[in-house]
Structure 1
Amino acid sequence: MVFIKRIELEHFKSFGKKTVIPLQPGFTVISGPNGSGKSNILDGILFCLGLASSRGMRAERLPDLINNNHQENGGVLETVVSVVFSLDNFHDNPTESGELKVTRRLRVTKSGSYTSTFYLNDSPCTAGELQEQLLRLRIYPEGYNIVLQGDVTRIITMNSRERREIIDELAGVAEFDRKIEQTLVTLDVVKDKQETCRILQEELVQNSIRLKQDAEKAAKYQKLKTEIQEKKQWDLVVNWHYLQQEKHRLFQQIQSLNSQQKSLGKQLEQLQEKIVKLQENLSHLNYLIKALGEDEKIKITSQLATEKVRRENIWKNLETLTALREEYAAKIQEINANIVVNDGQIATLLDEIKILDTKTIPFLAAERNNIKIALQQKKIQANSLASNSQELLNKQRGLNQEIKELQDKLNPLLTQEALLKERCANLSQLLAESQQKLAFLGEEIKAKRQTVFSLETEEEKYRQQVQELTEKISQLEADLKLHQETLIRLEKEEREKQKLFYQLEATRQAQQEAQGTTASKIILNSNLSGVCGLVAQLGEVETKYQLALEIAAGSRLGYIVVEDDNVAALAIQLLKQQKAGRATFLPLNKINPPPVYVPQTVRNATGFIDLAINLVRFEPRYQPIFAYVFGNTLVFDSLESARNFLGKYRIVTLTGELLETSGAITGGSLPPRTTFPFGFSSPSPISSQLHSLSARLAEIETIRAHLTTILSQKRGEMSTLSLQLNKTRQDYHKQQLLLEHSKKEIQLLQAEVEKITTIYQENRHHLQQSQQQLENLAQAIPLLQNSLEDKIKTLKELEATFNSQQWQQLQQTISQLEAYLEEINSQMETAERRLITGKGELEKLLSQQQYFKGQIQEINQEMTSKNKKFTQLKQQETSVNETIKQLETRLAEIEAKLKEYKQQRDKTEEEIKETEDLKKQTELLLEKTRIKEEELRLRLEDINRQIGELPKEIPNTPGARQLFEEDIDKIQPEILAKKLEDIRGEISRLERKIAALEPVNMLAIEEYENNQRRLAELSEKMNTLATERRELLLRIENLKTLRLRAFREAFEAVNENFKKIFATLSEGDGYLQLEDENNPFNGGLNLVAHPKGKPVQKLNSMSGGEKSLTALSFIFALQQYRPSPFYAFDEVDMFLDGANVEKLAKMIKKQAEYAQFIVVSLRRPMIEAAERTIGVTQARGAHTQVLAVKL
């Protein structure tokens, strides 16, 4: 843990030459007589670490911290303080060890100037660098690492707001306020830019209007001149043809129009009835669509999409399991094929072994015995023949015996040699096969490991994707939570502000009704000449007399002063016209106030101040007005002094009581002021508050709309990322399954390799043993064979001495029998070797069968597990399919009904629209027929007149004839009339336009385009600024939300700590109480305690000891919220009794298990509870010395 290892003080305050104070972890008490300098040790820590100002270290200025008895050459004073920290097992870096030495050097020159320098490990550093290191060690400038004598008192005496600001510091509220202030500065800049852009936009819009008009004039000017000339020629041709044709059909049209008007009237009645019926049907369809509920469709669609995604996941898992099952089935099939082959080989070997063991070997053994018997008999005969020569016989017998002995020795060795050779061959074959299998398995394992590597790479990729998506979703969730909290807070604020707005609006309306301000405002804002203002606006009073004079004047303060009665009459007429209510006017030329004087009986009365009118400052010409308002009202200082004159004079007191001449007294608690205050000339505070609230409500609405948009976007992003995360997780899970399967395969292959390797090692050991035995036999057999050959040769030479035919025949027979016996022995050895070899092969095949069956068992177990999972997935698939089917069926039913109802509704709406259009057309047609009939009658008369005035010949104008697609003589008169009217109207209109356009600015078009481009750029910039302003407003609100969240987290943590610590120290209960729970920053913080056996009290109501104990509990709670490696207390127990000191000491001792505590104390319980005590005294030469360290 980190702790202060030692403190080095040189010429600091009461210390002289360099003093080193060693410290250890745990609980240390510094004690000594008053004034000995024990508190200076803690001041030295504060000074060295830069945690307090000079006043915090009981000095007016930094040079006062230097011991005045010390002075270097040149009159320079200097003090050096070092604090050495032990960094063993530092929590940020457990491997870090060693020390951190912090030094501060203060030098004061002879002139009085001084320099202060910090050092880290004897290297100079800035105060900022030092603070970074201290923060790394969890030592905070605003924390409570060192609690001095005045800190406990300061917490007791500070007001509740200052106490709340301690929590602010812990929560980092100042940092949030700084960010909010920076954002507000930026917001002001944006507002200024918006205002600049708005002014420029208004200017550009005005220019655009002007330039657009000029540009249009320039474009139209030339075109109009050409059109006028052409249309004048058309007028002559069309008019002549029109007059000739129009006369023949006007009468018939008039008759037709009369019939048409009657028919159209009936059609309108029928269409109206149809529209009413269709609208009733439409209302019914809308009710059905709403009743059916599109919300249910959305809900079912969402459930259906979720179930389909789930089914896709099940299908993917089923595909994986199916592939695994097929792979397992192929493996089982391959192993079974190998088992079948081995079974055949085992059956063959068993038959062969059975034949050898039951038939061949017994038969050869019996045959060998028979031959031996026959051979023995022949040898007996031969011996009888050789009985004549006993010496020869003895030699023969001896040789035969030796040959037999040699054969008995040699035959087992030969048999053993043959068996060993066979075994070596078999073992070599097995070793070769094992090497082949190991090589094959090695390649398989290598390939599988490559697959595992690829799968691990893919798995890592998916894992990273899952992690990235999870982090993105977490960030989105945090943003959503922050925005939602901000939105909830804004909605709450909006409700509160709206409630306050409505209350203020009601109050203002009530005041207006009481004061008649509606009428007054209209008169004052009408710019009517001769209106001087309200009575309240024309006078001023001192604050101490304001209440009395306003009550004395009453509603007359709202009367309107005018120059004369003519102005009053005009004003009354204006109120009548606008129906704005009533008002009282005081014309200066007609007002007749009563005489004003001070009665002699009250001039020297106790409590009398003056006449009311004398306490008002106003222009002299308004003397009659204020005399009318106040009359002879007297002002007294209190009700007691005024009662002596009750019923004699009209009196008002400074506290607001009003005494009338009738004897009536008005007084009591003061209601809200409904009259105009003196000096009233601007909007009331209520109006200002309403304006401020209205602006804030508009701002909240803007932020809410922006927040709603952001939340919608964030939720969309969240939905997209969640789907992507689910898909990635599925792929990740699939990769994990494949990887797990591949690893299991590698484990199986490695187990098989280990098994084969073990067998290989055993076989190789057996082979080495057999080869060693063969080498030994290879040395022994040739010696025995040579000796046997010598003996046989000697025997043959001996037997050659016999020349008789019988002897020769016997010897030939014996030789044949011996050769046959040797052949039988050879066959016997071959059969026995084959029996041993067959048993070895059988054992090998049976081992393989066991291995194959083990593999099948393992695969079957895996298959059982996969089949179980497959069955579960199929069941899930069936369940999901059934759910999807139900949802699709329900959705189809809803969609079918909705579609049917909507089609009917759309059809009905279309029919209503068509019917209404038809009705409008019919009404329009009816009106036209009526107008046209009248026009035709007048036109017929005019036509007859005009025909006589026109020339008889038709003018030849090809341009006019090209206006029509057919011959102009065949065109109906209506068309010709309309065309003629259009042409003449167009000519007149064009002539007026030509006259209006001159003069024309031909450069206006280019100027207009440039102006429009600048206006578009400015609009884009204003949109950008508006977006930036919304973002800044949202940032401010989010920072406020984060600030409130940080404060509440810190407050709740400190409150919990305070409850536990106070319960320990006082055996009672206590808690922290905010004055304003809804908005903590508007109020303060109270410490509420319930000491054992006493009622609940606030800090101000406690005794001195209880206050100290409560304040210490608060300090401990703060320390636990932000723990540090060391704490130093300076006589914090001085106001506590012995029992409470003992409790405090126990708590510090318990806390010292986690941090270093250095306590300056004179109290015995504290010293006894400490692990070690440092004694401090004032030594000779007025220097503080550490006398002893008691461990």
Structure 2
Amino acid sequence: MFLHKIKLAGFKSFVDPTTVVLPGNLVGIVGPNGCGKSNVADAVRWVIGETSAKHLRGGSMADVVFNGSTARKPVGQASVEILIDNTGASSGDKRLGGQYAAYDEISIKRRVSRDGQSVYSLNGKRCRRKDVTDVFLGTGLGPRSYAIIEQGMVSRLVEAKPDELREFLEEAAGVSKYKERRRETETRIRHTQENLDRLQDLRDELERQLQYLKRQASLAERYRILKQEERLKRVQLSVLHWRAFSQELSEQDGRVGTQEKVLREQLAEQRRLESLVETQRAQYSAATNEFNDNYRAVLDAGAEIARAEESVRNFRERATQIQKTLRKEEEASIEAKSHLDAEKNSIETLRQTLTDSEPALAESQRIETRTAREHAEAEASMQEWSEAREAIGLKVTDAMQAVQVQEGRILHLRERLANSGERYVRLQKEQDKLDPRGLQQEVQDLTAQLHEQDAVRTRAQSEHESHQSTVQDLRQRIRDIEDAINSARERFQEARGRLSSLQALQQEALGKGDGAVTDWLRENHLIQLPRLAEKLEVAAGWERAVESVLGAKLRAVCVDGLETPVSMLPDLREGSVTLFDVNGNPGKTIESPSPAGNASPSSPMGQGVTGAARLATKVSAPWPMDTLLAGVRVADDLQQALALRPALAPGESIVTPGGEWCGPDWLRVHRGSDPTAGVLPREREIKNLSDVIRTLQAEIDDREAARQTALQTREIAEKKQSASQAGIAEARRIHATLESRLGEQQTRFDEAVRRNQVIARELAELREQRQQARSNLTRMQQDLEEKIALKDRLISQRDAESAKREEHRQRLAANRTRWHEARDNSHRLAIKLASVRAQYDSLTQARTRDQDQVTRLEARCEELRQTLAEMDAPLRGLEIQLDGHRARRQELEAVLSQARQQVEKLDIAIRESDQKRHAIADRTESDRTTLEQMRLARQEILVRRQAIEEQVVAAGHAMATILDDLPSDANEADWEERIGVLERKISRLGTVNLAAVEEHAKQAERKDYLDTQHQDLVDALTTLQEAIRDIDKETRTRFTDTYEKVNIQLGVLFPRLFGGGHAYLELTDSDPLSAGITVMARPPGKRNSTIALLSGGEKALTAVALVFALFELNPAPFCLLDEVDAPLDDANVIRFRDLVRDMSDRIQFVVITHNKNTMEVVNQLVGVTMSEPGVSRLVTVDVDSAAAMAES
């Protein structure tokens, strides 16, 4: 098996589909640095299952996908496929067996997208990563194996600690699986010991519980007996109650009958009285109707009288009201006339007052107009003076403000000059303190530390991803193992169930269930002997034929001689048994058909059917079967058998595969149930199922062991993952701290540079500003002097104008006083005149109204006198009608009195009859209530008696039986006393665990089971300890052998690579099971004690020698070397290449190199170029063909 082709597409720099053809056993891959040579090695490692991005020189699995270049866009997925030649053309035999042995070429492909999800394919079919790794189990190939050697692996080997170096040797020796099994066995021992301890605790606790439960069970039994007796007594007491209720029920029936008779008599009397009351009520109704008619007539007469009286009263009241109104109107007319005279005198007086007041008001108004004009002139003069003085005052204020503003400006400018001077000094001091160069150096130091921490964080991240990938792989592996275990267990349970069913059917069919015969066989120690059917092997298809011929003989017990069993037959009382003497026909064992054996041995003439085989040829057994199958031939079907029947010799018969059996003059065909039917196929299936069960059990055990191993490995990997996660967190914390410090320091540096520049600009600006401020200060002081002179002149003018103010004020006050006096006098006269005019107008209007009122009152009085005269005649007519109505009502009242007396007499009679009816109804209702109560009491007695009957039946007793068993003098009091005694006995028992008996039995059974388990665990612990010793012995042997072989190979390869010297492996301890390994190397002319003292090239050669020594011990089909010769000089490279060339006769080498000496020995060169930036391409050269072409 060797690597034939590598197909890449989108993988790292191989963006275009590329095929690397490897036709020989020594192929070189060359090219300049950075062109993508090592990507070929990464592709092989990746496609066979590598899951750690760190080992692929990436940060994540998505980094293997081409990420674009200056001229190309990124691609979405990457794929790698390797084609492996499995014909054995180079190695002489096929390295892959099992299900892959039939394939001449095996294809393994892996595809990944940018989301990091990988898809594996095996021979074009999608598969799991586990399926891919399983292909290379035992071949030395794997993503982390020594078949792919790179400089990193060499350096790891050189720098490995003794314990780490031991792991390489253990892997080559195959000891790692033993160590894993030993760890698993130790874990099992620990778990078994823990289970033993827990089991012993359970047994001790169970023993204490059993003692306690035994006492409780005894108490529960005593409780059960007393409770059973109590229940019986209670049932008997209930029966006594039933008997008492039955007697009480008979007495109650008599009382109910008597009460029913009394109730019937009361009901008859009640109905008679009700009939009498109805008759009286009819008479009362007629008398009442007559009384009502008379009463309505009296009421009508009264109403007529009331209406007449009302009319008379209304006429009289109206006349009285009219007379009162007439008197009031006459009085009002007299009063109105007197008001007219008074108003006439007042009007004359007011008219004279108006004539006198109007000239005085005109004179006062003229004086007011003149004084108002004089006052206005004085105010105008005062206003002119005020405006003049205010103008001068404003000028003075403006001048003073201008002086103050100028003084403030001068003061502010002087303060600015002082502040700018102080700021100039502060800025100079601040500029002196700034140190940008020192801050820049600190920034550079922190940047270098941050880069170093980035590398540390990247390494920690890669290590964590590697551990994470390992944990995920282990989890998937555990899930796969658990799925396989569950599947195997399901098949195991199904097979075991099927086997149990078949064994039960087989025992029944073979008569092992016959009790008498089985007992006889067991008593005579024959029960363990096999039945005949269990020892027969019948050719496929002929089972029914053998069953038809042998029939019940298949149940026969196979014995070694009949003498002893026959002597025991008198002990067999019933049943039938068949015994088969296995030594009855010695010297003959039928195993296969004989060409000349067609004649039946029982045929007296030795002749019979020709061409028909004997049935005995279809049967194989540990002993001869001729005596049972003698003379029985076989035919393919019934027609053939019947056709051959005439040729049968005496004593011969012929049978078909379907079980039809015929002789010369007879035919037997059985259709239906037969106890022995299917015995032989069932026996074959039982044996097959037993083999399947054993195989499945072994598979389950193996997979359980693998699961435990994977669980332990996962636990270790998870601890490493947690540790790496903590390392990442610490690296991130340190990185964040450095970033923060760098950011702060960079900010401080930037701020210092910026501040230095700002200070320089400000200092220049301050110098210019101070020069300008000084010139401005001189100019502003001159301007201030001019403003002060102007202010003094304006203040003098303002003081002169202020002296005229009192003259203007006095003249304005005198004019204002005269104007106010004239205005008040005019106002007073105007108000008085207006008041007189208003009174005059009001009196005039009132006199006119009073004259109109007098005229209306006189007309009203005349109208009322006329109305009183017209009302006398109607009033006399109404009084006559009223007297007639009163006489009619007296007549009707006499008739109504007679009708009322008749109604009252009938009412009294009805009340008397009704009282009698109510009395008898009350007695009837009382009797009915009493009867109902009696009936309810009877029903209650009946229900309680029925309830007792149901309770007795529910308790599992019969009423008649209990009544017969009760003594004749039994009474309820005695039985209640007996029940009380039983209750006290039960109470004295205290709390009773009724389930103690059953619980004691269960716990005893559990105790036996735990005792058995304890012994099983002790035996298992002994077995595991023996297994530990065996594993240690095997590990010591294999490790020692491998150690010696690798030492020998290292001793051979080291001088070859160095041109002399010697090297060997040395154990750090005397115990091979725990000792570490160190490499002792002494190049020619040197006496170095360890490999650590060698130079870099010597270390690399020593590591190569050790790797090749391991490789020679367990060589893989091919080996991929990635620039292993890089640190070697020319002489060492030549020795290295010669060694590779010699080993290439047995192993396929793919060498990635820069060295020309190495290139000389390869058969074919594959050049990797990068003419397009970021994109790798191949150039292939067959060296032998090129050399031949050059020679020609």
| TM-score scaled by length of structure 1 | 0.32
Structure number with bigger Rg: 2
| TM-score scaled by length of structure 2 | 0.32
